[in-house]
Chains A and B, each alone.
Chain A
Amino acid sequence: MSLVLKDLKKKFTDQYAVDGINVTVEKGQMFGMLGANGAGKTTSFRMILGLLDPTEGSAEWDGRPVSYDRTNLVGYLPEERGMFPKLTVKDQLIYLMKLKGMKKGDIIQEMRQWLGRFQVEEYENKKMEELSKGNQQKIQFMAAVLHKPELLILDEPFSGLDPVNADMLKDAVLDLQRNGTTIVFSSHQMRNVEELCEDLIMLKRGKAVLQGNLREIKRSYGMKSISVHADYDLGFIQNIPGVLSLEKNKNGATVKVENEAVAEDIFHGITEKGFVRKFEVEEPSLHDIFIDKVGGEANE
């Protein structure tokens, strides 16, 4: 069982929203989809779910496209959150989960379990509109997972959550993965992606600009980040060839360089000047890579 996107394309009017992406997500994997707004993440999700028909290529789960006869295998948390504002938590979960083929008794049992886990038992009979935004999001998440889907698609699951609730949700997602759920999610918050996923794709205008295993990407990514702590002015580093940027802070500076060789040049330069309390070459954060790959070119 795996999710396979093959040369997936979707054209709206005269523009490709998704332009030929190839992805394979094995069962039990957690896969991240990154990209700026309008990069084609939601359109890709909609094609995986069968809400949109691909212009070219295919999106298949377990060998065939997701269709309405097996939507019970798929869970979805749309980016635009929304439930029935006037219905109680219980009533809307019953309706939405019945559409996934669950029985009322099972729904209530599962719902109580999840309400307990999220520490919101008291909201069972409250109307959705009376809940805070964070709590609404917990209910929304429940609507995506209550039926124990094989494939779970989470579009920006952590946006708008406070750190406590974000951690709670993160734990839940990791638990689901441990239990064998295949998860595809998108996020703007690179920290979450780094913490959660092993493999990822970075999209820009519908095309993959970066793809693969997160650790390998980081290791092989030329750009490095150097953290220097010293008591004298580090401004001279900027003039060393191969230095991309220099950011001074109260302890010293953070330097971005093209590759490790440049780091050596800097190291020599600094030791000539005097004592350093810290000199560390770090792998770039996903945040840096994202800015480099997507943000930088976006300014063209």
Chain B
Amino acid sequence: MNNLWTTIAHTAGRRIKSKTFVIATALMAAFLIVIINIDNIIDSFAGDSDDGDTASEVAVVDETEAENGVSFGEMLASMEDGTYDYSLYTDGNIDAAIEAAEDGEFEYVLALTGDTSNLQADLFTSGTGFMSGMEINQDVQRAKEAAATAQLDLTDEELAMIFTPVTFNERPINGDGQTEESQMQAYWMVYGLVFAIYLIVITFGTMIATEVATEKSSRVMELIVSSINPVTQMAGKILGIGVAGLVNLLVLAAAAVAGFQLSGDDFLQSLVGDALDLSLIAYALLFIFLGYFLYGGVAAMLGALVSRAEEVNQAIQPLIFIAMIAFFIAIFGLNTPDAPFIQVLSYVPFFTPQLLFLRIGMGTVPGWEIAVIIGILILSAVLINLLAARIYKGGVLMYGKFSFKSGIQQALRLSKKEN
């Protein structure tokens, strides 16, 4: 037991103190804070450069027939939009306006032709701002609607009737279904967890395998396993890397909280708001934990089969493929959580953490089924770790060219309990 703690402390301590870990964690934390505050940062830059004059200049070349004495160009020019500053261009035709825009007088040139019933608008842009076409189109549309309603000579009530927005609500068909809000929340949580498991498997699985392989290739392994049971050592490695991972996640979580504090955004509020399903969080933690053990055991086993650290990537590839497949199935399944193949695949231990969580979060799974599937997962995690421990015990004494089949056979032979 003592040696287990020593190994956990050693593994975790070495990771956490390593420059790579510190720098990577710091960069990720900084990145997270920046991403969360990206709006503010962009705003502050935008504010600086334009200095109060934030609206883009749009030259309007109006070639439409004026009706009721008001032209579209004038209507647009009188619009107080804030984003675009429309001004009627009267110094020449469309070509002259484009020339002026090229000289930097305007950012956009908008040419209007036709009449109210058949209005055509051509927008000339310098190519930046992919939203501008849509936004200017809306402005022109509004101007046209205003012109049309003006022509119809409607009263204020009639105008209000047209322009008052619809009150639109989404409700679940059956009473106990999820509300839109909790559905959205579940969607993002499932998405987040599926992604998290994928990242955890790839990052920490590789870390475990590398750790084992490095100790093997530096030949310190034989010395270690002469003092401590390889099985205890393997467990210590998996837990130690887990602790390092936990520290990493806690730092990132702290960075996220700090980021939201800085931005003053209430996203965090909305995430952990009243509608938050605590059981979903509990499931998420359980699946991360079990998934880590299942994949971690296999990773340690694969690490023990190779002799050199360079071979780790080759050895761990199948595991990463499985994680990738689970990832894609889960992402696909977000839209069809109750599809039969998702239900079936959620029984497969390597897919269970992602797919069962998907089913619980996005749909309804009977309690007994959850219990059965989690039971299968726990059982297979234990079995796989027992098998991994056997192979690990033989594998750590084994050197030579890496091959799955003969490697596993040889490892089992070496760890064979005789008599």
A residues engaging B (CB < 8 A)?
Answer: 12-13, 46, 49, 51-56, 68, 71-72, 74, 76, 78, 80-85, 87, 92, 95-96, 98-101, 140, 143
CA distance A72 to B418 in the complex (A): 24
**CB within 8 Å for A82 and B219 given contacts A52-B397, A87-B14, A96-B227:** yes
Residue in A52, A74, A96, A140 whose beta carbon sits within 8 Å of that of B224 in the complex: A96
**Chain B, 402-419, contact with A by CB distance < 8 Å: what is the 0/1 string?**
000000000001101111
Which residues of the other chain, A, contact B220 by a CB distance below 8 angstroms? 82-84, 92
Segment of B2-10, B113-121, B169-177, B375-383 engaged in the interface with chain A? B2-10
- In the complex, B223 has a CB within 8 A of chain A: yes
Q: Which residues of B contact A (CB under 8 A)?
A: 2-3, 6-7, 10, 14, 215, 218-229, 232, 397, 413-414, 416-419
A81→B222 CA distance, assembly (Å): 9
**Contact between B226 and A98, CB atoms less than 8 A apart:** no
Question: Which residue, of B2, B10, B397, has the highest number of chain A Cβ atoms within 10 A?
Answer: B10
Minimum C-beta distance from B232 to chain A (A): 8
A53, A74, A82 pick with most chain B CB within 10 angstroms: A82
Q: Is the CB of A51 within 8 A of B224?
A: no
CA of A81 to CA of B221 in the docked complex: distance in angstroms?
10
Whether the Cβ atoms of A95 and B10 lie closer than 8 Å is: yes
Identify A49's interface contact among B6, B218, B219, B226, CB under 8 A.
Answer: B226
Q: Is B3 in contact with A99, judged by CB distance below 8 angstroms?
A: yes
Are A76 and B223 neighbours in the complex by a CB distance under 8 Å? yes
Contact A51 B418 (CB under 8 A): no
Q: A51 contacts B226, CB within 8 Å?
A: yes
Q: What chain A residues lie within 8 Å of B229 (beta carbons)?
A: 68
A78 adjacent to B219 (CB under 8 Å): yes
Chain A residue contacts of B225, Cβ below 8 A: 51
Question: Would B10 and A71 count as touching, CB distance under 8 A?
Answer: no
9 A/B residue pairs, CB under 8 Å, sorted by A: A51-B222, A52-B397, A54-B419, A78-B226, A85-B218, A92-B220, A99-B224, A101-B2, A140-B223
- Least CB distance from A47 to B in Å reads 10
Knowing A51-B397, A82-B218, A83-B218 touch, does A96 contact B223 (C-beta < 8 A)?
yes
Residues of A within 8 A of B419 (CB): 53-54
A100, B227: Cβ atoms under 8 Å? yes
- Which chain A residue shows the least CB distance to B7? A99
Whether B219 pairs with A80 at a CB distance below 8 angstroms is yes
What is the distance, in angstroms, from B312's C-beta to the closest C-beta of chain A? 16
A53 B416 Cβ-Cβ under 8 A: yes
A80: min CB distance to chain B, Å: 4
- Asked if A71 and B227 make an inter-chain contact with CB atoms under 8 angstroms apart, the answer reads yes
Sample of 11 further A-B pairs with CB below 8 A, known A54-B418, A99-B228: A55-B418, A68-B227, A68-B229, A76-B222, A78-B223, A82-B218, A82-B222, A83-B218, A84-B218, A85-B218, A92-B220
Q: What separation, in Å, do the CA atoms of A267 and B222 have in the docked complex? A: 55
Q: Which residues of B contact A12 (CB under 8 A)?
A: 413
A13 and B412 alpha carbons, distance in the complex (Å): 11
Q: Give the nearest-CB partner of B218 in chain A.
A: A82
CA A81 – CA B217 in complex, angstroms? 11
B226: chain A residues at CB < 8 Å are 49, 51, 71, 74, 76, 78
Residue ID in chain B nearest A13 by CB atoms: B413
- How distant is the Cα of A294 from the Cα of B223 in the complex, in angstroms? 29
A118 to B322, CA, bound (A): 52
- B418 x A53 contact (CB < 8 A): yes
CB distance from A159 to the nearest CB of B (A): 14
> How far is B225's CA from A142's CA once the two chains are assembled, in angstroms?
17
Complex formed: what's the CA distance from A43 to B219 in Å? Answer: 16
Most buried by A among B14, B227, B414: B227
Q: B217's closest neighbor in chain A, by CB?
A: A82
Across the interface, which residues of B come within 8 angstroms of A82, CB to CB? 218-223
Across-interface contacts of B7 in A (CB, < 8 A): 99
> A residues within 8 A CB of B228?
68, 71, 99
- Complex Cα–Cα for A279 and B9 (A): 67
Q: Which of A13, A71, A92 has the most B CB atoms < 10 Å from its CB?
A: A71
Q: Are B6 and A99 in contact (CB under 8 A)?
A: yes
Query: Distance (Å) between the CB of B143 and the closest chain A CB?
Result: 69
Q: Which residues of A contact B222 (CB under 8 A)?
A: 51, 76, 78, 80, 82
Complexed CA–CA distance, A99 and B232 (Å) = 11
Rounded to whole angstroms, the CA-CA distance of A17 and B401 in the bound complex is 21
CA distance A101 to B10 in the complex (A): 14
Q: Which of A52, A83, A95, A99 has the most CB of B within 10 A?
A: A99
Residue in B220, B232, B413 whose Cβ sees the most chain A Cβ within 10 Å: B220
Contacts of B414 in A (CB 8 A): 52
List A contacts of B223 (CB < 8 A): 76, 78, 82-83, 96, 140, 143
